[in-house]
Amino acid sequence: MPARHPLRKIRSVVKDALRSLDAEFDRLYAGEGRPSIAPERLIRASLLRILYSIRSERQLMGQMDDNLLFRWFVGLGIDDTAWVPTVFTKNRDRLLTTDMSRKIMAAILAHREVAPLLSDEHVSADGTLLKAWASMKSFQPKVNAPPNRDDDPGDPPDDGVSPPSSPDQSTAEPEPMTRPKHRSRNAEVDFRGERRSNATHVSLTDPEARLFRKSPGTGAMLCFMGHSLMENRSGLILQADLTQADGHAERRATIDMLHRHSPGSTRRLTLAADRGYDSADFVAELRRMIVTPHVAQKSRHSAIDGRTTRRHGYAKSQRRRKKIEAPFGWAKTVGGMAQTLYRGIERERARFTLTMAACNLARLRKLLAA
């Protein structure tokens, strides 16, 4: 491996960060049975997939077969057999979770070489839309949506025959079932003039996706919303989250990320954000949390007054907050987050958090060299 290869520094930081999580990994091992693949290797492989824009676990294992660079980074020997792609599927709900992704991000930020790069007082927040893996044709009226057995376990099984309502009906022969009419999956659909909303429609492909548009003049799409909390000194991501898309999601997620970043802290922080965060209830909540709201002012009915805007730090925070767009752009172009890969919020939240941790690793090479 070349001495100046960028993966050398990244591998060193990841190795130390995962070593600090040994106690977490020990609890994942069973007391008996055949030996399993080390969690550290699966996490390194997942980070490698993000850093090199590999589209799937199957392609990643194909690279692992003949790429010595990947084997060296993950920790496989030159003669070791690469894993089957289903290893990631079986470990996604056990190891590759949101909680573990957050711990990996925190361990990287707590590294002895990374911690001095972080700002202790000035942070920024923003959100971005992530297109869901669901087409607009799947956005159907709720009356046609399949029933959810988890919500109403008392429903009878849908076996095509109605349950008898009386003893006489129970002895009668059931009517023969009719085959439903065939409908082409790619049939032409004209949505012109049809009013659709999240209150009346739901996606049959991903029921947790929401129809949303972030700004006027843009088309609505089925999507989720990713959120990040960035420190203003080096532009590293401190917290990440993913929620359903709506007009209040950005402010709610920012409050949650602030609580996770500094729970019960009494030191004063400044939070920079765009005009979408200029809300009276949000600004009041920040002040109760001892957080100075360096939020961009709306042209009318702004909750930010002169006691904040008159200070020199307010203008500086407004300039620095725009750096948060760079990690979002990296996550969508390099990290593959322009569109979701899995169905449901929980799995995509874990993937988004790990992608933002990989974005920090990609930036550390230049930051540490400087």
Residue 140 lies in a domain: no
Each residue's pLDDT, cut to its tens digit, for the chain (370 residues) gives 788 898 999 999 999 999 999 998 888 776 676 777 889 999 999 999 999 999 999 999 999 998 999 999 999 988 898 899 999 988 888 888 999 999 999 999 999 999 999 998 999 999 999 999 998 888 988 875 444 444 443 343 333 333 444 444 444 444 444 444 445 566 677 767 778 889 999 999 999 999 998 777 888 899 999 999 999 999 999 999 999 999 999 999 999 999 999 876 667 899 999 999 999 999 999 999 999 999 999 988 899 988 889 888 999 999 999 999 999 999 999 999 999 999 989 999 999 999 999 999 999 988 988 7
Together in a domain, 127 and 267: yes
Q: Which amino acid is at 182?
A: H
Residue 360 lies in a domain: no
Percent of the chain with pLDDT over 90: 63
Together in a domain, 81 and 11: yes
For residue 121, which of 261, 223, 2 has the smallest C-alpha distance?
261
Together in a domain, 231 and 84: no
What are 37-66's pLDDT values in tens digits?
A: 889 999 999 999 999 999 999 999 999 998
Residue 130, φ and ψ in degrees, nearest 5: -120, 120
Domain total for the chain? 2
Together in a domain, 39 and 78: yes
Residue 274 lies in a domain: yes
Together in a domain, 85 and 123: no
Together in a domain, 128 and 31: no
Together in a domain, 14 and 130: no
Together in a domain, 228 and 284: yes
Alpha carbon of residue 57 to chain centroid: 18
Residue 29 lies in a domain: yes
Rounded Cα distance, 239 and 231, in Å: 10
Residue 202 lies in a domain: no
Residue 66 lies in a domain: yes
Question: Is the Cα dihedral 25, 73, 343, 332 positive or negative?
Answer: positive
Together in a domain, 68 and 125: no
Residue 81 lies in a domain: yes
Q: Tell me the whole-structure pTM to 2 decimals.
A: 0.85
CATH number of 234's domain = 3.30.420.10
Together in a domain, 53 and 124: no
Domain that holds residue 79: 6-91
Together in a domain, 127 and 264: yes
Rounded Cα distance, 338 and 358, in Å: 15
Contact present, 127 and 253 (Cβ < 8 Å): yes
Torsion of CA 139, 145, 151, 157, to 10 degrees: -150
Residue 148 lies in a domain: no
Together in a domain, 236 and 320: yes
Encoding tokens for residue 306? 């002169």
